[in-house]
């Protein structure tokens, strides 16, 4: 299928165009639920954080809501899966939770020393800079959107860089060895990549705590749908603005050209702005025709593969420098 100047789907089956993507089938209640669930949750969460008393509007509440929401989505995966072949198994659940666990423990510990917030804090202290305090005077919703958009904009370019520059690709490639999408699959990846993708410039800004919680709600109620095995009838305006499972499944497809699209985490309009958005979906995911990489290999692959490539290149140069006898 030709999309702009690109041929997509030459290597593996993909579906291009919203009109070709299956809709949720069933009675009117089921169809209404899976049409309005996403916007309702987003508006509900924003309203909650906007009006919650200060005694409730805190990070621990956000963590509780995040966990509860993911458990609910796991239930929806069970009730209305997008593809039977993406069913969550015990092994997949354990693997995914292992990476989630790394994110909550050792990676958070490392981040507290060398994460972007820690580095920006040190830099600002060194340079005697003040945080950009004008940010806090903006309306809450504007602050929240800007925090979320700035992070996603940075993530878009980091992610695009990972698909276009080999050293970065080495770290990101292991995430593309997943062969199905489920709630926690976003956490699967080499720790170096997880560190890189978490870098942001938010540390330069001062903002109201409530705005940060609302920015988290944007991420939770939009970004979470990148990796999920649920079929939704997302409204037209939603899929124009926001990243969906359809977009991200295409990004993970076994077709190389299709993977070079849909880089944003939450706001697919960033891809539309820079010409990298493709509307469609794929069921067959992964690399090397669906080889599932073990956790052990995911941990070492960027280093072993990088070393192998370096040896090949250096070996090749040496060989070409010596004339054949």
Partner 1 sequence: MSGLALARGRAPGGEANLRWIDWIWHVRGAVTLEPGMSAAEALDRLEPLFRERGTRYERGGDALSFRKKDQPAQDRMAVFDSGTLRVEGGALRYDLASRMLLACFLAPLLFLAFAQATVVVGAWHQPAAEAPAAKPKALPMNPIDKALGAPEPEAPGKNGAEGIGRGKKPSHTPGYVFAGMFAVLYLVGRVLEARMVRALFVRKLAA
Q: Would you tell me which residues interact with partner 1 (CB under 8 A)? A: 50-54, 57-60, 85, 89-95, 97-98, 101, 104-106, 108-109, 112, 117, 121, 136-140, 179-180, 203, 208-210, 212-213, 286, 289-295, 297
Q: Between the CA of residue 172 and those of 168, 175, 302, 316, what are the distances in Å?
A: 7, 6, 8, 26
The distance from CA 304 to its chain's CA centroid, rounded to whole angstroms, is 25
Shortest CB 161 distance to partner 1, Å = 25
- Cβ nearer to partner 1, comparing 167 with 209: 209
Shortest CB 87 distance to partner 1, Å = 9
- Cβ nearer to partner 1, comparing 234 with 298: 298
Residue found by looking up tokens 């940010």 in the block: 135
Q: Count other Cβ atoms within 10 Å, centred on residue 63.
A: 12
Shortest CB 248 distance to partner 1, Å = 17
Report the alpha-carbon angle 41-53-64, nearest 5: 50
Residue found by looking up tokens 């089938």 in the block: 25
- Cβ nearer to partner 1, comparing 17 with 75: 75
Q: What are phi and psi of 207, to 5 degrees?
A: -150, 165
Q: Between the CA of residue 162 and those of 27, 175, 227, what are the distances in Å?
A: 43, 11, 19
Q: How far is Cα 164 from Cα 169, in angstroms, rounded to an integer?
A: 7
- Cβ nearer to partner 1, comparing 54 with 126: 54
Shortest CB 237 distance to partner 1, Å = 23
Shortest CB 39 distance to partner 1, Å = 20
Shortest CB 72 distance to partner 1, Å = 18
38 touches 239 (CB < 8 A): no
- Cβ nearer to partner 1, comparing 108 with 308: 108
- Cβ nearer to partner 1, comparing 168 with 221: 221
Q: How far is Cα 241 from Cα 262, in angstroms, rounded to an integer?
A: 12
Which H or E element spans position 316? helix 295-321
- Cβ nearer to partner 1, comparing 3 with 212: 212
Shortest CB 176 distance to partner 1, Å = 14
Secondary structure class of 218 (helix, strand, coil): helix
Instruction: Compute the half-sphere exposure of residue 143: CA atoms within 13 Å on the CB side of its CA.
Output: 20
- Cβ nearer to partner 1, comparing 50 with 240: 50
Q: DSSP of 134-183, one letter per residue?
A: GGGGS-HHHHHHHHHHHHHHHHHHHHHHHTTSHHHHHHHHGGGG--S--G
Shortest CB 295 distance to partner 1, Å = 7
């Amino acid at each position: 299928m030709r999309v702009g100047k690109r041929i997509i789907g030459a290597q593996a089956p993909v579906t291009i165009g919203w009109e070709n993507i299956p809709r949720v089938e069933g009675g009117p209640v089921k169809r209404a639920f899976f049409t309005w669930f996403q916007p309702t949750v987003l508006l509900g969460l924003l309203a909650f954080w906007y009006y919650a008393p200060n005694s409730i509007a805190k990070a621990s509440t956000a963590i509780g809501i995040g966990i509860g929401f993911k458990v609910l989505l796991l239930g929806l995966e069970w009730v209305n899966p997008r593809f039977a072949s993406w069913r969550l198994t015990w092994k997949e659940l354990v693997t995914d939770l292992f990476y989630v666990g790394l994110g909550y423990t050792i990676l958070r510990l490392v981040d507290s020393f060398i994460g972007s917030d820690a580095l920006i804090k040190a830099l600002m202290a060194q340079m005697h800079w003040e945080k950009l305090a004008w940010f806090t005077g903006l309306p809450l919703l504007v602050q929240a959107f800007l925090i979320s958009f700035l992070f996603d904009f940075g993530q878009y370019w980091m992610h695009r860089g990972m698909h276009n520059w080999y050293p970065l690709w080495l770290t990101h490639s292991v995430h593309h060895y997943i062969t199905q999408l489920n709630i926690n699959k976003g956490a699967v990846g080499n720790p170096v990549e997880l560190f890189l993708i978490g870098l942001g410039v938010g540390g330069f800004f001062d903002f109201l705590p409530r705005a940060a919680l609302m920015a988290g709600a944007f991420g939770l109620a939009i970004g979470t749908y990148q990796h999920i095995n649920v079929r939704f009838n997302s409204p037209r305006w939603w899929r124009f603005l926001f990243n969906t499972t359809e977009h991200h499944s295409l990004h993970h497809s076994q077709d190389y050209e299709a993977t070079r699209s849909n880089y944003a985490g939450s706001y697919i309009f960033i891809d539309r702005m820079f010409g990298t958005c493709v509307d469609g979906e794929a069921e067959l995911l992964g690399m090397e025709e669906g080889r599932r990489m073990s956790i052990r290999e995911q941990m070492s692959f960027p280093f072993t593969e990088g070393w192998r490539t370096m040896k090949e290149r250096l070996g090749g140069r040496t060989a070409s420098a010596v004339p054949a006898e």
